Amino acid sequence: MHRTVVIGAGIAGLSTAYFLQKLEGKEADYLLLESSGHLGGKITTHAGDGFLVEGGPDSFLTQKRAALDLCLELGLGDQLIGSNQSSTASTYVLNKGRLHPMPEGMMLMAPTMMLPVLRSRLISWPGKLRLGLEIFVGRNTSDPDESLGSFVRRRLGSEMLEKIAGPLMAGIHSGDPDSLSLRSTFPMFVELEAKHRSLVLGMMRRKKAQASASAGASAAKPAPAGHTSMFTTLRGGVQQLPDALVSRLASERIRLNCPVHSLIRKGDPARGGGYTVTLASGASVAAENVVFATPAYVTAEILERLDPVLSYNLRKIHYVSTATVSLAFRRSEVTCALSGFGFIVPRSEGRRINACSWSSNKFGHRAPADSVLLRVFIGGVFAEDLAEQDEDALIEVARQELREILGITATPILARAYRWRKSVPQYNIGHGVLVQEIEREIANHPGLYLAGAAYHGSGIPECIQRGAETAAKIHHGGPLPHRAGPQTAHDPSPVALEAPSSS
């Protein structure tokens, strides 16, 4: 009988095991089971020949302290680096086959300055006029869980949705803005509308307040070097974080290539009966507590025999497939100017990619000085079939698209594709209510816990925080800290090609 079995060794599962060991010391009795041969989930970094290629998330939000604090705790402080700030434009938008710079001051889909939008050639004059009318649009009083697409269309107009918000959501959530729940993905915008009535005015006031607070904090205590950027990564790649966690765990408590088949109750959990975890091999493990740090549909499969209703509700959380393709070229063979961090692609362009990040511009130590490294994003809710192709086909799609969009005809000196089948949870309309129901049902099974990207935020910091909370609950035997309403999956932040995600 183990006290705790953690199923799934992505960043959430590793964090749960780490914080359990931290709380319980040498007496920590846990077993970490991973179905694959890789620890870290979608976090995977390839280094070689001077290149550093991220297969999954390439960074995490600094303002959400869980990931940053854990890196510091693990002794990775000297490895933290922020995104490069020297580029004149952070992101471009493909419009009618040409790249246009994103208007300065955009916080995701909302402007914090109007003059750059008025000067932009990306937005038409009718679109600018519609945006200017935003201050006269009333609050939402009829839809308790409005879609992100409906919100943007209602407040900012259809053109802002098509050219900015829609493609950004394809990059961040791989989802359909008309299906994604605003309250579950960006609740800050709900709060801004409720407080200021106007989203634009609210964003402007928020930016001003943040600037004042930041100036005061900097004067009182300057931020450590490398911690001032909105997005932070590690010099040797994000995989340094799970690797550091693994190095702190007892190796005998980790089992790779060990998929779980099912789970049944072993006597009365309230009396210490616990559960029996049956492995795909036919062996079984007894546990007092079981933590599911797995995708919701995997958890549903394991729990089918124990609780069919809970399993049914877990399957309602939809997942989509994505892929990334990294291509490196000799700088002398790339004739187009690669300023900024990359570009996003609206659906109306009819392309087969969602975005392209100029990795060697975005962060340092990603490519030799005479080379450039680009990363292409494929798939999501509208193109899952593309993302599920084999690696050679993905690389060919990426090369063709870059040839037609950027004019890059050179043969890449490095090409790596990563397929992530059914990897990104969709926080669709009704997600908050669904998660509340799932958590009520899991509470009927003392000793069972849910962690991971499917419930209260899919970023690396949220997964780490959830792991810490779960470990604390197991250690203290009390409830998790009360969650008042929907949780913030992503705070408004400067436009970026991708937001970190994990599982």
pLDDT digits (tens, 9 = 90+) for 245-270: 999 999 999 999 999 999 999 876 55
The residues with which 449 forms a beta bridge, in sequence order, are 291
CATH number of this structure's domain 319-425, picked from the four choices 3.90.660.20, 3.40.630.30, 3.40.50.300, 3.20.20.100: 3.90.660.20
- How far is residue 180's CA from residue 113's CA, in Å, rounded to a whole number? 26
CATH number of 2-39+239-318+427-476: 3.50.50.60
The pLDDT assigned to 459 comes to: 94
At 26 the pLDDT is 82
Domain ranges of the chain: 2-39+239-318+427-476, 104-220, 319-425
Mean pLDDT score, 284-302: 97
Q: What is the percent of the chain with per-residue pLDDT over 70, rounded to a whole number?
A: 89
332/345 Cα distance (integer angstroms): 26
Asked whether 60 and 461 are in contact (CB, 8 A), the reply is: yes
Residue 322: per-residue pLDDT: 97
**Could you check whether 2-39+239-318+427-476 and 319-425 share the same CATH topology?**
no
Is the alpha carbon torsion for 79, 80, 86, 88 positive or negative? Answer: positive
Amino acid present at 224: P
Sign of CA dihedral 35, 40, 41, 45: negative
> What's the average model confidence in pLDDT over 167-194?
92
240-248 helix and 11-24 helix, angle to the nearest 10 degrees:
30
pLDDT, residue 108, reads 76
DSSP strand pairing (284-292 vs 2-7): parallel
Please determine, for residue 490, whether its predicted confidence score (pLDDT) is greater than 60.
Answer: no
How many angstroms separate the CA atoms of 140 and 131, rounded?
A: 17
Sequential DSSP letters for 456-482: S--SHHHHHHHHHHHHHHHHH-SPPPP
For the chain, first and last CA: distance in Å? 27
Per-residue DSSP letter, 163: I
CATH class of residue range 104-220: mainly alpha
As given in the structure block, the two tokens for residue 217 are 């904090």
Instruction: Give the pLDDT of residue 113.
Output: 86
- Give the mean pLDDT of 64-73: 96
Return the number of other C-beta atoms located less than 10 Å from residue 482's C-beta. 5
Q: What is the pLDDT of residue 215?
A: 58
* Reported confidence tier of residue 498, pLDDT bands at 50, 70, 90: low
Residue 170 confidence (pLDDT)? 84
Predicted local confidence at residue 400, as pLDDT: 98
Q: What is the pLDDT of residue 487?
A: 43
Find the range with the poorest average confidence among 196-205, 291-300, 309-318, 478-487: 478-487
> What pLDDT is attached to residue 482?
43
Question: Would you say residue 193 has pLDDT above 80?
Answer: yes
Say what the pLDDT of residue 231 is: 87
**Distance from CA of residue 97 to its chain's centroid?**
28
Question: Measured in whole angstroms, how far is the alpha carbon of residue 234 from the centre of its chain?
Answer: 16
Question: What's the gap between Cα 275 and its chain centre?
Answer: 32
Kind of pairing between the strands at 92-95 and 342-344 = parallel
* pLDDT higher than 70, residue 369: yes
Mean pLDDT value across the chain: 90
Q: What is the mean pLDDT of residues 359-386?
A: 96
Q: In DSSP terms, which residues pair with 232 in a beta bridge?
A: 60, 82
The token pair at 34 is: 């991973």
Q: Which residue has the higher pLDDT, 492 or 411?
A: 411
What pLDDT score was predicted for residue 62? 87
Return the pLDDT at 228.
59
